[in-house]
Copies of this chain bind each other. A is one copy, B any other.
Amino acid sequence: MSSIGDNVVLTVFGESHGPVVGAVLDGVEPGIEITDEMIASFLSKRRPQNITESARKEPDHFQIMSGVFNGRTTGAPICILIPNENIRSSDYQQGVARPSHADYVAHIKYKGFEDYRGGGHFSGRVSAGIVATGAVALKALEDRGIHIGTHILQCGSVRDNNFVDIDTEISLLNSKDFPVISDIESEIIDEIIKAKNSGDSIGGILQTAISGIPAGIGAPWFDSLEGAIAKAIFAIGGVKGIEFGLGFGFCDSNAKGSTVNDQFYYDGECVKTKTNNNGGINGGISNGMPIIFNTAIKPTPSISKPQRSIDFIKGEDITLEIKGRHDPAIIRRICVVITAMTAITIYDLIR
Contact = CB atoms under 8 A, between A and B. Distances in A.
A231 B227 contact: yes
Interface residues of A, number: 141
B234 A226 contact: yes
A14 B26 CA distance: 11
Contact of A18 (B66, B102, B231): B66
A242 B241 contact: yes
A74 interface: yes
Given A14-B79, A79-B22, A257 B105 contact: no
A239 B266 contact: no
Contacts of A215: 104-105, 108
A37 to B, nearest CB: 20
Contacts of A204: 251
A113 B237 contact: no
A2 B26 contact: yes
B156 A250 contact: no
Of listed A21, A30, A79, residue having the most chain B CB within 10 A: A79
Given A11-B77, A65-B19, A271 B113 contact: no
A24 B30 contact: no
Contacts of A305: 257-258
A203 B307 contact: no
A104 to B, nearest CB: 6
B108 A216 contact: yes
Contacts of A308: 263-265, 274
Interface in A47-92: 63, 65-67, 69, 72-79, 81
A325 interface: no
Interface string A197-234: 01111111100000000011011111110111011111
A163 interface: no
A13 B24 contact: yes
Interface string A2-14: 1110100111111
Contacts of A10: 222
Of listed A110, A199, A286, A307, residue having the most chain B CB within 10 A: A110
Contacts of A184: none
Contacts of A113: 30-31, 69, 72-75
Contact of A114 (B74, B101, B157): B74
Contacts of A155: 251
A301 B264 contact: no
A290 interface: no
Given A15-B69, A20-B66, A240-B278, A257 B219 contact: no
B100 A256 contact: no
A279 interface: yes
Interface string A301-345: 111010111101001110000000000000000000000000000
30 contacts: A3-B11, A3-B26, A4-B222, A13-B65, A13-B67, A13-B77, A14-B65, A19-B65, A67-B121, A69-B120, A74-B115, A75-B109, A75-B111, A97-B271, A101-B282, A104-B215, A104-B264, A106-B283, A121-B221, A154-B251, A195-B256, A200-B258, A222-B235, A227-B235, A240-B246, A240-B248, A241-B241, A241-B244, A243-B243, A263-B307
